Structure 1
Amino acid sequence: MQNIVVFGASGQLGQCLKKVSAEKNISSIIFPPETEANILDTDAISKVFEQYKPAYVINCAAYTAVDKAEDDVEMARKINKTGAANLAQACKQYNAVLVHTSTDFVFKGDKPYPLIETDAADPISVYGLTKLEGEQDVVGILPQHFIIRTSWLYSEYGNNFVKTMLKLGAERDELKIIADQVGTPTYAIDLAAAILDIITSGSEEFGIYHYSNEGVTSWYDFAKGIFDLSATQVKAYPIRTSEYPTRATRPAFSVMDKAKIKTTFNIQIPYWRDSLITCLERLSPPAP
């Protein structure tokens, strides 16, 4: 198989791609360290392309500190917009396909139905805006792209909501969790598998796709699932967004419709709670 190069390899999704590619016996996937593959360094990008001559590039690099981005606009835009454009330009020059990950935060979140790829993007945060700008640059530069929007990403790697809830649940007697923001968790292992399935299919059905796990839930219900399935003894109380103000505004309803990716690539998507069980099992230390 032709080479696949992953940028942002040390992040949560990058580490999941390492695990899944090993399980799928995909040996032609390369994970260069960020010191050699900085998406803001065009010379470094060119060296990576010259060395590995990838047919596919997966961009996992992103500025994802949603609240911090409100005050760090320049850096968020550099990574999420300029970095994406740099990779798209290199892919165009070297005739490679770009798989670029994006987010449900490109939507305002005021529609009461699952969002399809052609619904109008209208971000309400700097993070969402810069990710949308990155999408637009990729589309404008490179026809051979798969842009995959995802949501509420978690896994056994990196920092994420599941690991935070397990930590806080073990430390505290009670927690207050937002119940009026609704979406779908995504197990990053499942997303990694979907990305690799798209690449290995050899499909040229380029464009924007939505991927999250199946189902609909709130942050409160997601947390309750984490606590119940892990037998974490903590009382969880639902609160409104207005009771927990944050620097960045989040979409109130960002459930995404996955019909396009399922139909195009014949991908089976697990239910969010089933994937959560798998992740919690992998996070639990083995019994002595």
Structure 2
Amino acid sequence: MRVLHTIAELRSALAGTRDIALVPTMGNLHDGHLALVRQARARAGDSGLVVASIFVNRLQFAPHEDFDRYPRTLERDGELLDGAGCDIVFAPAEDELYAQPQTFKVVPDAALADLLEGHFRPGFFTGVCTVVMKLLCIVQPRWAVFGKKDYQQLMVITRMVEQFALPVEVIAGETRRADDGLALSSRNGYLDPAERARAVQLAQALQAMAAAIGQGERDLAAIEARAMQTMHEQGWVPDYLTLRRRADLLAPQAGDLEGGTPLVALAAARLGHTRLIDNLEF
């Protein structure tokens, strides 16, 4: 496995290879990331190349968020990626990927990007789309693999690729969970032991919401309010716990609930100083 730091080096290494699978990450990897790399490896096959990018993207962090303290663990990440079947790690410095101020940006459709995460983190998806577009242009992969844990992000990126007719297939990787059900996340490392023991409550809240629908309850506002209240009582500060249609992340209507429309429960909440997100399709 090679670790490359410049665009020129990467393009030289990829020249002549058509079957390239890209896994964009911000590093500080866990088994959820490695599962995406293994998925990419299966797509690229023995003759293709798997590229994992590691770059903490300033454009998607608000000034009060954790850009400066986000863990940079390149040496450990490289060892994990090597074991997962990665061929090339692209780990550019900030002044390599943004050699000049990134004044040209990709602004996603507000109908999808300004709700949920976009509402609580204004500008987040513009930062995500801009860096992903740049990585896709640099790597020119045939496949790009993203995890479902960042559910809305996956939808935004998929729509971006479709609308720009980019020659890349977006592959969704299932959320990986710890034994107690907590979704794996780089930010789980911020939790102290007591918080970590309680963190599974977020997944449990989503399960309770889905169960309520399955048991015939149809008052969405009541289901969501109950979930929010439960999280407050358990010491969380929730941004949202909500039920949405998978297709567009809009609130389901009565016909959706009776007609079996695929739904997803989504949540974002802060436990101590750590903000966690999760989702559950049903």
Which interval holds the TM-score relative to the shorter structure? 0.3 to 0.5
Question: Higher relative CO (CA 8 A, sep ≥ 6), structure 1 or 2?
Answer: 1
For normalisation by structure 1, the TM-score amounts to: 0.35
TM-score, normalised via structure 2 length: 0.35
